[in-house]
Every structure is written in structure tokens, then in C-alpha cells.
Amino acid sequence: MDAITRPIVVPDAPERLHADVVVAGTGTGGGLAAIAAARAGADVLAIEPLPFAGGIGAGGGIHWYYYGVKGGLQEEMDERIRQVMPLFSPPGQIQGFHPDAKKCVLGDMLRESGVRLVSGSMVVAVRASGRCVESAMVTTPAGPRVINAPAWIDATGDGDLAASAGATYSFGRSGDGLFHAYSQSTGMVIAKELKGASVPFMRLVNFDAGYVDPTDCEDLSRARTEGILQYLRDRYTDDDRPTYIAPAIGLRQSRHIDCAYMLTLADLAERRAFADSVGATGAHYDNHATDYEFESDESLFWVWVCRQWSAPIACDIPYRMIIPAALDNVWMACRAAGVTTDAHHSMRMQRDIQRIGEVAGEAAALAVRHGCAAAAVPYAQLRERLVASGAMSPPTKVDDDFGPDSHGVETRTEEDIRGWLAELGRESTIATWHLYRHRERCEAAVAELVASPSPRVSFAAACILAMWRDPRAEERLIAAVIAREDGFEGAEKRPDNSNRVVPFWLVAISMLRRCGTPRCLGALLQTACESGLVLNVRTAIAITCRALAERTVLEASDRATAEEIIRALGRDPVRNAVGVIQRHILDVPTFKPYGPRYVGSVAEDSTWQFDLCIAHARAALGMPMDARCDAYRADPRAIVRRVFATVAGGEPGSLCATKLLSASGRARSAIASSTP
Ligand SMILES: Cc1cc2nc3c(=O)[nH]c(=O)nc-3n(C[C@H](O)[C@H](O)[C@H](O)COP(=O)(O)OP(=O)(O)OC[C@H]3O[C@@H](n4cnc5c(N)ncnc54)[C@H](O)[C@@H]3O)c2cc1C
């Protein structure tokens, strides 16, 4: 081997660049942010690691829209994409827009607007003084560069810039630290009938490939390889085969930077209007998880109790949700903006992110012109610009060839307590949610309904009480557990035809974590002692035990029962822990996971989720730790290493380089501090 004659030298004084507005990332949000800022008169420098703009839509293989609200600068881009599409695909022969058409159009719009695009480069470190970012270190093929600017737009998808500047953020869901599943998409050609002839049609393949820490380089590489390897199958035909593998991994979720306002599921469910509205968002609670015992209590209630997973939800986008709470000159124009994990499942679609991209670009340019902080940008002027571009247009129902649009979403807004009470007990109804949210007006009526002769009404009422942490719910919930009450009637959805419907008894086990007292331990023990329990029944019981132990001072006999539950849960091997990641929670044999037939075999070993819940419960009860926890600290999956580090009290594993080498952001680890 030749001797290394040119050691790597990091220059003491890297070349400096200046701009009015720096946009980190020219993906879904950043591309339009840069164009909007430049058109508004700012000198814009855009930094992008990929060789093209467009992010997930252009490089992640997700070339169609799923809800979100149309309007604004994105319409101009989409119209231009329509015009160049015939160069890439005959009309009617591709799902949504062509990803290469988007690359071309965005590149052209960036160039026309005068944005200085530096591709092949990446923001790796940020210098902040107090609440202001002053400069950023960028790696480029020509070596490191330092950029100075008065205004910064974080469109990295992961919130790299804001986190590096010291903004706090949440990181993964509360129960087990997992992010929304990632995808490694492809284009697939299938035969389609068009005007009486069979023609090739390109559709996107978007399946859940597993879980990854989006900020860990080695974990990202592991995940990407696993995603790609799913395509090594021999079941293709000429009329049904992948054509290309998307160059970028599909990360649905990453950090959520703490912003001046954090959008919530309640905002969306109740169609909230904001005085600082910069547009609208709308979709449904599109969470791909099935194991809701690991989600927040409200999420569990929304899906398992109210059965509202697919219900349309919508609200205004407040300007504050794109301003990091800790920083004065940074705007978030990506999925890392100010949404809670629950709200993220709806407010994350490409149209949403393109909308906040446009807003961030306009606002940053205004801030530079006025010399003011992000929060002091004159809202009237910002709104005027957004009205002019069409971003604030009132929704109108339209057909859209690039995918569905949530214009015309209707949600219940009237506070009709009597009407909601009358709806209680239906298979699926938002009334249950509204009653939960209006305790001051319906507490007595709901409490009375726990004694209703209708088991469904009484169960729904008990779940609402449980959300209020009212112990009057407990008896009804315990009864559901002991009787193995499933609650299904007639032809309604059951676990074997919906992976988000579960029986009452399992819902009850989870709701007891809100309101249970030591009285429920007997029912939990009875269930825990059954042999052959599937993973999610065990994890639900362990999570409830932990909550009880953390909330209550247990008498010695209750503590002994709780310890017996934990031991019983680990007595025999966990069924269904290894398998498709969208496993059915009850291991229903007929359940078909989502995904094209040749990628249906994506599998993960989820035993760690069980061991994590047991470890947390043991810690809460003061029981000794299981030795298996140590092994998880060297797990190849970064998330698993990280969550077990919090259990065992150690530092997160330092085996892997993080994407952001100098990250100084402090994650709020919900795992360390609370049950879901
Ligand atoms: C698998 C999948 C399926 C989806 N399905 C749909 C769908 O059907 N319809 C729909 O409307 N939405 C869908 N979404 C949601 C939507 O596509 C994303 O939420 C949205 O595109 C995210 O946009 P973004 O700008 O935050 O991220 P991205 O588009 O990923 O852009 C981030 C950009 O930042 C760059 N970058 C990263 N780090 C740095 C750094 N340190 N410095 C500089 N640049 C950096 C990246 O290279 C990238 O170009 C899906 C998402 C995924 C992942």
C-alpha cells in the first residue's frame, strides 16, 4: 500500500462566506424557503448535501402529495412540473409528479431567483451568541467554510442547525424512543389499462422498512442497507418490478425543536384557528404504529378509544410554530418544526412543509429588512405577502392529479354536549374526544354514564374518566380486563381487518395507567399469568405497573403483587416479537401487513421493547435489573442503545459518530422522565 503523503489538515482560518439568509437544506421545505427569501430581496445562500434540490419528493421516492393544503408558491412549482413532466413520462403513466421533473424545476427556480446553491455541502457546526446564530461551519468538497449571516433557516429535516445552536427538542416517542418508521422507497413498474391498451405505469413503493435514529450516521447506513436489501427478491415479473431505488432514505420523523408554539393533536382535532395563522394544514392522524401502548395517552385515546385514526383533522398553522423558542434569528422550514409527536403524524405532509418553507423564506427576508428578531416580524406584512402568493387562500375543494388534498375537511366544532353524549358508545366517534376535552361542562353526565346498561357507553365513559385521572373509571376498566370483554358488535371492524382496532380489555389495561390504584393489580396479575401472551399485552401490563409504582406509595403486599406480575410476564418466551414491524398487536393469523408483496418480509426483533418495559417497571419497583439490559447497550440499533442507556443510568453508547458532530442541543428525553 502507498504511504499516506497528504495528511488531512483542517485550516485554521477557513474561507468565509456571507449572506443575508442562509438556508440549510434545499429539500421539501428548504427549496421553497430559499426561493421565497430571494424573491423577497434577500441575498440567499443554500447549503445542500445531495446533488439536487427537492429532498424526499425528488430523492426519497415519495413523488405524490398526501393531503396537506394547496396554495401559494408550491402551486407555481407544481404547474411548472406539470409542464416538463411529458419529457420524463407519458401522460397518465406515473403516480403523482415525476421526481426528476421536480429536481429540474426546483433547480431552475432556485437559479432564476438568484439563490447561491452550494450542493455537496452540509452544516456541521453552529456558533451562537446568546439567542442568535452568528456563523456556521459547512463541509464542502473544497474543504470547510464558515458562513456568517443575520438570518438562518433550518430546513435540514432533522433540525441540525437549531439543535447545534442550543435549541432544545424532543426526540422519539415517549414510550420507547422510537421514531416514526422509515422507508426505503423505489419506483415500481406495473401494467395498467389506459385507453384500452396495457401500458407501463410507474407507482411509488413506500413501505415501512424499520426504525432508525435519524441523527446517527452509522445507524442510518445500517437502516438504508436493510431497506435496500428488501428488494433482493426473485418474485418480479416484467409487468411488476422495481425500476430504481430512491437515492435518499425516507425519514418521516426526527427531532422536534421546541418552538414558540407547539402544535398539538387537540389543535388539529378541534380545527383551531390562530391569530398568527400563516396558512392551513390538514390530513389525518397518519401514524404507522400499531403498538399504541407506547404512544402518548392522548394518542392512545384518539386511536384505540375514539377510533379516529383515519378521521380528517385540520387547523391553522401558527407562525410561532416555526420559531425556535431559544433562538431569535432562526426559522424552522422542515419536519423538525414545532409540532408535538402526536401532531406530527398529521402535520408533516409535503404540502405542509412546502407551506412553512415559503413562510420561513418570506419572514426571514422581512426580518433582515427590518433588522428585527423572528418573533418581531410584522405579521401584517408577512400575511400580505402570503395572501398575494395564494398561501392563505381560503380552502376550496379541487381535484388534484398529484394526490389528494385536504380542502373541504369538515370536523365537528359545535360544542353540543348533549349531542356528543348521545354519540358515546358508537364504533368510532370524535364525540368521545370532545367530551374528554370539555370536562368542565360534562363531568357529572359522563360519570353517570359509567353505570349505563350499554357496555359500550359505560366503557367509553370510563375511558374519558380515566383520561381525567378519575378513579371512578377503575372498576369498569377492571371488569373489562377480568371478563376479557372485546366490545365488538355486528359487522364492525375487528382486529383481523384493522390493525388499529383492539378489544376493550387491552384498552382497559392501558387506560389503567392513567387512573389505576393498587386495586387493579389482581386483574393485571391474572392476565400476566396466562401462558403464551403476545408482546403487546405484556408491554401494556408492564407499562401500567410502572405507572402505578411511580404514582403510588405501594403497601408491602401490593408491591409483592406488582413484583409477581413482572416476574410472571417474563416467565415464557414472548410470542410475535420477531416479525413484520407493522405486526398485528394480537398476532391475528389472518392479518396482512401493508406493503407490496415482495417487501412484506421486513422484520425486526422487537424483544427489546418488552425488556425495556420490564426494566422500567423493575426500576420503579426497586427490583434488581436484568443482565440483558447490558447487552442492549451494544445493540447495533442506535435507538435501542440509547433507550437502554437511560434505564441503566449510563451514558448513551458512544460507538457511532453522530450526524451532527458538534451538536449541543439538549434532548428532552421523555423516556428518562416519565411513562407515556
Ligand atoms: C417514507 C415517507 C413517505 C411519505 N409519504 C408522503 C406522501 O405520500 N405524501 C406527502 O405529502 N408526504 C409524505 N411524506 C411526508 C413528507 O414527504 C415529509 O415530511 C417532507 O418531505 C419532509 O420535508 P423536509 O423538508 O423536512 O425534509 P427533506 O425533504 O428530507 O429535506 C431535508 C433536506 O436537508 C438536507 N440536509 C440534511 N442535513 C443537512 C445539514 N446538516 N446541512 C444542510 N442540509 C442538510 C437533506 O439533504 C435534504 O435535502 C412522507 C415521508 C416519508 C419519509
Share of the chain above pLDDT 70, in %: 87
CA dist list (Å): 97 to 68, 373, 598: 16, 37, 24
| C-alpha to C-alpha distance for 235 and 634, rounded to whole angstroms | 36
Dihedral angle sign, alpha carbons of residues 211, 214, 219, 221: positive
- CATH classification for the domain delimited by 15-177+253-296+313-389, as one of 3.40.50.20, 3.20.20.140, 3.30.70.270, 3.50.50.60: 3.50.50.60
Cβ–ligand 1 distance for 206 under 6 Å, the answer yes
Judge whether residue 673 has pLDDT over 70.
no
62 in ligand 1 pocket by Cβ < 6 Å? yes
pLDDT-derived band at 646, boundaries 50, 70, 90: confident
- Of 235-239, 466-470, 516-520, the poorest mean pLDDT is in 235-239
Nearest to 278 by CA among 191, 184, 366, 219: 366
pLDDT at 676: 33
Report percent pLDDT > 90 for the chain.
Answer: 72
Q: Are 187 and 404 in contact (CB under 8 A)?
A: no
The predicted model gives 465-475 an average pLDDT of 98
According to the model, what pLDDT value does residue 10 have? 62
Query: Which of the four pLDDT bands, split at 50, 70 and 90, describes residue 181?
Result: very high
Residue nearest to atom 39 of ligand 1 (CA): 156
Ligand 1 center–CA 247 separation, angstroms: 12
Mean pLDDT of 444-458: 97
- Cβ of 31 closer than 6 Å to ligand 1, yes or no, is no
Three cell numbers written together for 170 = 424532543
Cα(27) to centroid of ligand 1, in Å?
Answer: 6
- Report the C-alpha gap between 40 and 42 in whole angstroms: 6
Mutate to test the pocket of ligand 1, among 115, 156, 224 (most ligand atoms within 8 A of CB): 156
Cβ pair 296, 341 in contact under 8 A:
yes
Of 170, 123, 258, 259, nearest to 660 (Cα)? 123
| Region for 528 from its dihedrals, namely left if φ exceeds 0, alpha if ψ lies in -120 to 50, beta otherwise | alpha
Identify the weakest region by mean pLDDT among 60-69, 475-484, 502-511, 587-596: 587-596
Using one digit for the tens of pLDDT, what is the confidence trace for 74-103? Answer: 999 999 999 999 999 888 899 999 999 999
Q: pLDDT band for position 672 (50/70/90)?
A: very low
Class of CATH domain 417-622 = mainly alpha
Between 600 and 562, residue with greater pLDDT: 562
What is the rounded distance in angstroms from the CA atom of residue 451 to the CA atom of residue 439? 18
Calpha distance 205→403 (Å, rounded): 15
Q: Which residue pairs, CB below 8 angstroms and at least 24 apart, start in 455-462? A: 455/485, 455/487, 456/425, 456/426, 456/487, 456/489, 457/424, 457/425, 459/425, 459/485, 459/487, 459/504, 459/507, 459/508, 460/305, 460/424, 460/425, 460/432, 461/424, 462/508, 462/511
Q: Is the CB of 210 under 6 A from ligand 1?
A: no
Give the residue, out of 56, 249, 348, with the most ligand 1 atoms within 8 A of its beta carbon, to mutate for a pocket test.
Answer: 56
Q: Is the CB of 160 under 6 A from ligand 1?
A: yes
Predicted pLDDT at 591: 59
Give 206's pLDDT tier (boundaries 50, 70, 90): confident
On the question of pLDDT at 453 being above 90, the answer is yes
C-alpha cell at 597: 408483496
The three grid cell numbers given for residue 104, joined into one nine-digit string: 429540474
Distance 555 CA to ligand 1 centre (A): 51
Pocket residue to mutate for ligand 1, from 211, 253, 321, 350, most atoms within 8 A of Cβ:
350
Per-residue model confidence as pLDDT tens digits over 318-377: 999 999 999 999 999 999 999 999 999 999 999 999 999 999 999 999 999 999 999 999
Q: What is the overall mean pLDDT for the chain? A: 89
Spatial distance between the Cα atoms of 472 and 463, rounded to a whole number of angstroms: 10
448: pLDDT strictly greater than 50: yes
Give Dmax over CA atoms of the chain in angstroms: 84
Q: Residue 540: is its pLDDT beyond 60?
A: yes
For the CA of 55, the closest atom of ligand 1 is 29
Is residue 428 scored above 60 in pLDDT?
A: yes
Q: What is the pLDDT of residue 389?
A: 97
pLDDT band of 496, cuts 50, 70, 90 = confident
Banded model confidence at residue 7, pLDDT cuts 50, 70, 90: low
Instruction: Flag whether the ipTM exceeds 0.95.
Output: yes
Tell whether ligand 1 has an atom less than 6 A from the beta carbon of residue 343. no
pLDDT at 674: 35
pLDDT in tens, 227-280: 888 888 667 887 888 889 999 999 999 999 999 999 999 999 988 989 999 999
Phi, psi of 132 (to 5 degrees): -120, 135
Report residue 408's pLDDT band, with 50, 70 and 90 as the boundaries: very low
Would you tell me the crossing angle of helices 504-515 and 474-482 to the nearest 10 degrees?
Answer: 150
Q: Is the CB of 47 under 6 A from ligand 1?
A: yes
pLDDT class of 399 with cuts at 50, 70, 90:
very low
**Looking at residues 4-22, what average pLDDT do you find?**
77
Nearest to 140 by CA among 49, 55, 217: 49
Closest CA to 320 of 283, 381, 271, 363: 363
Regarding the beta carbon of 64 and ligand 1, being less than 6 Å apart is answered yes
Mean pLDDT across 190-194:
89
Cβ of residue 215 lying under 6 Å from some atom of ligand 1: no
Residue 675 pLDDT? 34
**pLDDT above 90: residue 167:** yes
Average the pLDDT over 211-227 and give the result: 93
Q: Would strands 143-148 and 169-170 be described as parallel, antiparallel, or unpaired? A: unpaired
Question: Relative to the CA of 26, which ligand 1 atom is closest?
Answer: 49
- 453 CA → ligand 1 middle, Å: 50
Q: Which pLDDT does position 497 carry in this prediction?
A: 74
Please state the domain extents for the chain: 15-177+253-296+313-389, 186-245, 417-622
Q: How far is the CA of 99 from the centre of ligand 1 (A)?
A: 13
State the amino acid at position 155 in one-letter form.
Answer: A
Choice among 55-64, 400-409, 610-619 with the minimum mean pLDDT: 400-409
Query: Ligand 1 within 6 A of 85 CB?
Result: no
Show the cell assigned to 348: 408533516
**Best CA proximity match to 380, nearest among 392, 371, 368:** 392
Residue at grid coordinates 461551519: 137
CA 142 to chain centre: 35
Angstrom distances, CA of residue 177 to CA of 84, 346, 613, 619: 42, 19, 12, 18
